[in-house]
A and B are shown apart, each in its own frame.
Chain A
């Protein structure tokens, strides 16, 4: 009578159900598509090269790390920030407020500020990634090859570079302190549980570690192939890092030798190259730099956003960056670098912090409205800015975009041979090798100033004064001024620079680093909170 027997039907259905509905064994095994496993990442030289590529990107880029802020991160931020704190890049107005707190010395003195957090965290990420690579290779069974040497070389070099950034920033300067007792930064080798990090080592111990690392890096890189591009750490770049470490330590012999090796093959820029805007790492002087392409831009957190007068961002348009007028006025007329700043640019911004902006009436350099605005138009059209851009006396045009008036990305230069010349010259002078120093200074100086005559700097003192001047001009805006103050134990004094006290506040004058621990950055509170070996009493 019935079409089918419900009992039998149902039973078979349960059986079918039980068989087909119980999930297959790998039902619960899922893998992500936006990442690879850590095991795979460290399983082959090819993959370790990928990790290094990620580091190359992170040198300049916005922070990618979990829990970090994308703002105030990477060399794109820290180069101009260190020069804002160090007084080399002078802001002509609060602009849109970006970096005002840096130049007022409110960020690095505050353990909860993003600047401090990111600087520390990112450097230690480089250390951790290098550790992973170095540990994996030492634990593993990889055939020695030029590629493997390249990987090990760069990993050791990054570790040295990161510790150097850290120890010179978060500890008392080597040359002005007591390195064997001054607290440095934690030295970490492990990337495994229990993730407790380490106590602060002494400055001396950190230097020892860096020196070992950079020497290892160099010996590996000597047996590696040539670098893929300038974003990789080459043998030359490793020597450059070694020279920087030695310089900050006052190890003049090493500094001079390493600097000489670093610049080998990277000839000094000529005038047109020097005045081309420092926007590409293809410049022959560039030893190490970051190539920034459209799809990897930092947008409004890019280096050129902060530094280039042509960048079309609100940071810039009302806040052209200026050089100390006292410094600029020392540049000889025969030195082509004087074209990198415009001492007579009209002060068009009514909100300029020096109170002289807005019209020919307030700007002492101009007597009529027409002259004033004509001068502005001339600057605008010559450098490709927009009508929204303001100009200011002593504004920089050293950094110019490839595509002025836009927000297009430009490269970030980390190391070039001029710096190496200046390290070598300074070291020679410090070793009292006066004539060798003069000779090299002449080579460098005449490449910038057709009338340059090094023989007038006949004593160590005169030489050092000249080297300081050269460093300040040549490397203006490239991130060295803050640490140079520490090395030279010089106070920060903006009295005759053109900086406005009302804008600079605490950043207008700071006592010399040997007397004033405000030069030592605060250790991030997040580190103190989570590191069992560091308490608030260990804070700088």
Chain B
């Protein structure tokens, strides 16, 4: 072939050379292209290339991360070059919707996280790496349950449906599996697409932004390379516990609560005599009727003799994390292959919780002829996890159980006389289920009688197995020069099995034991056909994309539930005799889209980009299911202008702006437009009931966004950054509007209103020190977001918020706490009444012109209390130091402003429910007339003293946290080359090292509504050490 070519094109010549980096090391995989043609090659493993070109041609040498260089082929036959590192990585390939581009020509807004940044982290879900590395992104912490993923919110919540998850695209197609199914070492880059210009090509699925994940490939002409990564770590709780009163204080406070509820002549004496009867447990060394004196003080002789009062101690442990992964890559002139395997084992810091995942991925790209490329990858992730599954307000939630337990109650049965453990015949501790043990003289607990969520966790069994299998297949055809057809097919199969046994001794499974199993399979298929045409005409370049996509998601589930076990220790249906439930269903969501995009640039100075997409969704009725979404964007590289040529401190300056639309069809129900009756048998006879209102007029919600930005690199790339403003208008918002429940259903779907999100984003990156040995990089990020409803026909209340035109969806609507009546200790609330004209609640003013206060909050009514859950600013500070082979990085994240309705705190500041835990702030409770305090009296059974929807619980949401620290050492090449390695890196890293917030116990990143219950599996802290080896 070469011979033939040489005969035909006799005027051509063959040149060769070697490409080195600045350290003098050979660079494999450098693209060597004859300018203006498609003729090209790549350097081999030793940096050598050979290419046949026309005499006088220009050779272009390019490589990701290096400055592209050009050389004119003259008389010589050898052209050796040293490529310089491009500190600004201007030629960085940016993965965008249905293709790639370069940073300089991109008119949209995106942030990229590269493999190098991921290497710093020990993450289970790669999504976590985005926090602090992308402006405009707000994070909600992952649960501490091993294997959990955090939630991310890109540029505020543009929908009302509560779902904030961005569209995740893995290797070109939508991915619906859990993000923890992706081995972080398989990831080459993650791109966060934020504005409509970059996302609108995904049309209807991009309302919450898009995260593009690209997995690693082999590199061209590369000898076999092996990477091994091995890590070991320990896991602890990252967020401190809420403070809790001690047993003496607890008794004093409950004495108050009891005394104030008594309707007898000498309440104090009665309370002192019988407070024990209310609480049931006396952890002290004094008699039951002498625990609290009649003056309300604890008996000075009372010392705690009970053992085992630490509920969290019984729930927690030190967990561990083990991660091993290996990958192999190899490439040649017309093929490259990447293969990886990994295993992750995590044991959470809470008993029984764990996660294990094994992944494998094989990816290959092949070029059979010069006009055909074939490739694809297959991957699997097999995971299993165990853990206490009950969350929320369930009594079986061990976190809530431990948190809400008064400080006088022991975890294990103790002798009320001596306070020592009473062990069973085998010498083991016995859990105190709080239902009274007359044999030992132990009374019932007044709270959580007959339950012990920690024992239940240990006796129950809750195992989840999730298998993800994915394939990506692509074929590319070059039809004529510049015209390509790409076919891309992807399928992700997700198999899920949850087996849950509840024991027969204590808890919901008592007395017979019960077992349930949920299995589902989700298949997501995506098929894209994309035509791409590239053309340059002088100074004008065009790039046109046309495509068609179909999406099909099928979900099929069975759920079985049986009770009455036969034998111990068998957690399968065979072992249970009575069927309580056996259900199953299949759901299907389909989507079809046609799209096109045109990119244009003039002299690499002015860029224009436009796109159109037309989507049809199965969610909507036939007549209204098609929606059109378009975008337009432009960029101006100011530094390319002649007038800038003398401004030497500016290396790069770009202005860009975009406008575009995306849509949303998601209201958490694939059949939402269809009025339905759900199936409900009666005593085995078939039956149905009216369950879903439907709405055939329901259609696309649209989000129009504006984005204006300036990007710059200054002072020889020492300072770079971007400043952006965005505004996202959401219209025809989809929502399940609350109906008067006297309609017989509580909600109906509708396109109800409009709202916008706007914000500023500033990202700065500075190379503070750039010495030969010592380098210091500093990254700062600041983002703001404001949210406002601009149109809503009728205001409505949703939880602690009320939505109305002119306000944010995060404005609190609460009982307006007015403090404590110093005469009697009543909680007071400012009174409001509805202004029938405006529908607004206005203050009730008395004759003296004072704002009336009432003691019954429901009579006082709720109002806007001037607080919002939206923070004023979220941001991060990233430092990276390197000295010779050492490198140290740490990432702080923070949030300023905004308020949290701290339900976790409110639960511990109740009116004095017997047995429930109390926060030390309760010690400030009103006790006698004249007391000036902000904490009302304690009084058992009084519902007006501490309602949860009260402005009293609002707490500053600001926080400052050390998210990640990484210290690593890279051995220099000489030393390790002798050992047959090409690189060796040792490191220690820590995630979630500390958190400072307004109140101990608070997780300020719990949810966007700012309503943490304080009873969830709090995020974990992971400290790992590891080694990376390549050879």
Q: A-side interface residues toward B, CB under 8 Å?
A: 6-7, 9-11, 13-14, 17-18, 21-23, 27-41, 47, 50-58, 64-68, 93-97, 104, 106, 110-112, 117, 120-121, 124-129, 131-132, 185-186, 188, 191, 195-198, 228-229, 231, 290-297, 299-300, 312-314, 317-318, 348-351, 355, 358-359, 386, 388, 390, 405-407, 501-502, 505-506, 522, 524-527, 529-532, 534-537
Query: Which residue of A is nearest B858, CB measured?
Result: A111
Within 8 Å by CB of A359, from B438, B548, B676, lies B438
Shortest Cβ distance from residue B25 to the other chain A in the assembled complex, whole angstroms: 39
Chain B residues in 8 Å Cβ range of A197: 739-740, 742-743
| Interface: B274 (CB within 8 A) | yes
Question: When chains A and B are docked, how far (Å) is the Cα of A155 from the Cα of B414?
Answer: 59
Report the bound CA distance from A75 to B477 in whole Å: 68
Any A CB within 8 A of the CB of B770:
no
When distances are taken between beta carbons in the complex, the residues of chain A under 8 Å from B582 are 295
Q: Please encode chain B, from 325 to 365, with 1 for each CB lying within 8 Å of some chain A CB and 0 for all others.
A: 00000000000000000000000000000000000000000
Of A54, A66, A314, which is within 8 A of B688 by CB?
A: A54
Please measure, in the bound complex, the distance between the C-alpha atom of A124 and the C-alpha atom of B746, giving whole angstroms.
Answer: 10
Q: How far is the CA of A52 from the CA of B681 in the complex (A)?
A: 10
Taking A34-B679, A197-B740 as contacts, is the C-beta distance between A50 and B687 under 8 angstroms?
yes
Say yes or no: A30 contacts B618, CB within 8 Å.
yes
Cα-based distance from A58 to B372 in the complex (angstroms): 63
Instruction: Tell me if B941 and A35 are in contact (CB < 8 A).
Output: no
The answer, among A6, A23, A522, for a CB contact under 8 Å with B479, is A6
CB distance from A293 to the nearest CB of B (A): 5
Please indicate the chain B residues that have their CB under 8 angstroms from the CB of A38 in the complex.
Answer: 674-677, 690, 694
> CB distance B485 to A51 under 8 Å?
no
Of B548, B591, B738, B746, most buried by chain A (CB within 10 Å of CB) is B746
Q: How far is the CA of A43 from the CA of B582 in the complex (A)?
A: 28
Chain B residue, CB-CB nearest to A95: B449
Q: For the complex, is B487 an interface residue (Cβ under 8 Å from A)? A: yes
Q: Is there contact, CB below 8 Å, between A188 and B743?
A: yes
Query: Are B941 and A104 in contact, CB atoms less than 8 angstroms apart?
Result: yes
Cross-chain contact B742 with A185 (CB below 8 angstroms): yes
Of A55, A67, A229, A351, chain B has the most CB atoms within 10 Å of the CB of: A351
Q: Which of B682-709 contact A (CB under 8 A)?
A: 682-694
Chain B 180-213 near chain A by CB (<8 Å), digits 1 or 0:
0000000000000000000000000000000000
Please judge, given known A-B contacts A50-B686, A537-B833, whether A28 and B617 are in contact too, CB under 8 Å.
yes
CB-CB < 8 A to A228: which residues of B? 685
Given A527-B740, A529-B796, residue A351 in contact with residue B280 (CB < 8 A): yes
Q: With A124-B743, A128-B743 in contact, is A355–B677 under 8 Å at CB?
A: no
Q: Which residues in window 433-454 of B have CB below 8 A to A?
A: 435-436, 438, 441-444, 446-451
Whether the pair A318, B449 counts as a contact (CB closer than 8 A) is: yes
Contact partner of B588 (CB less than 8 A), chosen from A30, A93, A531, is: A30
* Closest A residue, CB atoms, query B947: A112
Query: Given A50-B687, A120-B741, A350-B443, does the pair A35, B692 have CB atoms closer than 8 Å?
Result: yes
Most buried by B among A31, A188, A191, A530: A530
Contact A23 B592 (CB under 8 A): yes
Among A117, A296, A406, contact of B683 (Cβ-Cβ < 8 Å): A296
CA distance A186 to B744 in the complex (A): 12
**In the complex, what distance in Å separates the CA atom of A296 from the CA atom of B561?**
11
Q: Which 8 A-B pairs have the closest CB atoms?
A: A128-B744, A314-B450, A53-B687, A38-B675, A54-B689, A531-B740, A351-B444, A197-B740
Residue from A96, A293, A312, A506 with most neighbouring chain B CB atoms (10 Å): A96
Q: Are A291 and B683 in contact (CB under 8 A)?
A: yes
Contact of B691 among A39, A64, A537 (CB under 8 A): A64
Complex Cα spacing A534 to B446, Å: 40
Contact with A along B612-625 (1 / 0, CB 8 A): 00001110001001
- B689 to chain A: closest residue by CB: A54
Alpha-carbon gap, A17 to B586, bound state (A):
30
B511 within 8 A of A: yes
A50 CB, min distance to chain B CBs, angstroms: 5
* B681 contacts A296, C-beta separation under 8 Å: yes
User: B225 at the A/B interface (Cβ < 8 Å)?
Assistant: no
Are A535 and B682 interface neighbours, CB within 8 A? no
Contact pick for A10, options B485, B616, B941, CB 8 Å: B485
Which residues on A sit within 8 Å (CB–CB) of B586?
A: 33
Q: How far is the CB of A231 from chain B (nearest CB, A)?
A: 6
Chain A residues, Cβ within 8 Å of B277:
351, 355
B742 touches A188 (CB 8 A): yes
Residue with the highest number of chain B CB atoms closer than 10 Å, among A14, A94, A112, A522: A94
- For B508, B552, B943, which residue has the most chain A Cβ atoms within 10 angstroms? B943
**In the complex, A292 Cα to B450 Cα: how many Å?**
26
User: Which of B60-68, B573-581, B979-987 lines the interface with chain A?
Assistant: B573-581
Among B487, B677, B685, find the residue whose CB has the most chain A CB atoms closer than 10 A.
B677
Q: Which residue of B lies closest to A509 (CB)?
A: B263
Bound CA–CA A131/B744 (angstroms): 10
Is B647 on the interface with A (CB-CB < 8 A)? no
Given A37-B675, A54-B688, A112-B858; A6-B683 close (CB under 8 Å): no
Q: Are A13 and B690 in contact (CB under 8 A)?
A: no
In the assembled complex, 21 residue pairs joining A and B whose CB atoms fall closer than 8 Å, in A order, are A18-B548, A35-B677, A50-B677, A50-B688, A52-B687, A55-B687, A57-B680, A65-B745, A65-B746, A66-B747, A96-B449, A106-B941, A120-B742, A129-B690, A291-B683, A293-B684, A295-B582, A314-B435, A355-B274, A358-B438, A526-B746
Most buried by A among B443, B625, B683, B797: B683
- Residues in chain A near residue B487, CB distance under 8 A: 17
Q: How far is the CA of A55 from the CA of B681 in the complex (A)?
A: 10
Residue from the list B671, B745, B834 in contact with A536, Cβ < 8 A: B834
- Cross-chain contact B742 with A65 (CB below 8 angstroms): no
Q: Find the B residue at minimum CB distance from A500.
A: B277
Q: Is B5 an interface residue (CB 8 A)?
A: no
| Pairwise interchain contact A125-B745, C-beta atoms closer than 8 A | yes
* Other-chain residue from A64, A294, A355, A527 in contact with B742 (beta carbon distance below 8 A): A527
**Is B643 at the interface (CB under 8 A from chain A)?**
no
Q: In chain B, what residue has the closest Cβ to A297?
A: B580
User: Which one of B448, B511, B583 has the greatest number of beta carbons of chain A within 10 Å?
Assistant: B511
**For the complex, what is the distance from the CA of A11 to the CA of B274, rounded to whole Å?**
92
Q: Is B823 an interface residue (CB 8 A)?
A: no
Please name all residues of chain A whose beta carbon is closer than 8 Å to the beta carbon of B585 when the two chains form the complex.
Answer: 32-34
Known: A67-B746, A191-B744, A318-B435. A54 touches B739 (CB 8 A): no
Q: Are B263 and A501 in contact (CB under 8 A)?
A: yes
Contact of B674 among A32, A58, A127, A534 (CB under 8 A): A32
A28 close to B592 (CB less than 8 A): yes
Interchain CB contact (< 8 A) of A314 among B451, B480, B685: B451
CB pair B438–A296 under 8 Å, yes or no, is no
Which residues in B have their C-beta under 8 angstroms from that of A41? 677, 688, 690
Task: Report whether A67 and B590 are in contact in the complex, using a CB–CB cutoff of 8 Å.
Answer: no
Q: How far is the CA of A51 from the CA of B261 in the complex (A)?
A: 48
| Residue in contact with B941 in the complex, picked from A195, A351, A505, A537, CB distance below 8 Å | A505
B943 to A129, Cβ gap below 8 A?
no
Q: Which of A18, A28, A530 contacts B741 (CB 8 A)?
A: A530
Contacts of A349 in B (CB 8 A): 436, 444
Assembled-state Cα–Cα distance A50/B444 (Å):
46
B639 within 8 A of A: no
Task: Evaluate contact between B677 and A56: CB separation under 8 angstroms.
Answer: no
Asked if B824 CB lies within 8 Å of chain A CBs, one says: no
Nearest B-chain residue to A34, judged by Cβ: B585
Note all chain A residues with C-beta closer than 8 A to B693: 195
- B512 an interface residue at 8 Å Cβ cutoff? yes
CB of B285 closer than 8 Å to a CB of A: no
Within B906-954, the residues touching A (CB, 8 Å) are 914, 940-941, 943, 949
Query: Shortest CB–CB separation between residue B152 and chain A, in angstroms?
Result: 28
Assess A537 versus B681: contact at CB under 8 Å? Given A6-B369, A65-B745, A188-B742.
no
**Shortest Cβ gap from A67 to chain B (Å):** 4
Whether A195 touches B683, Cβ cut-off 8 Å, given contacts A17-B529, A28-B616, A295-B582, is no
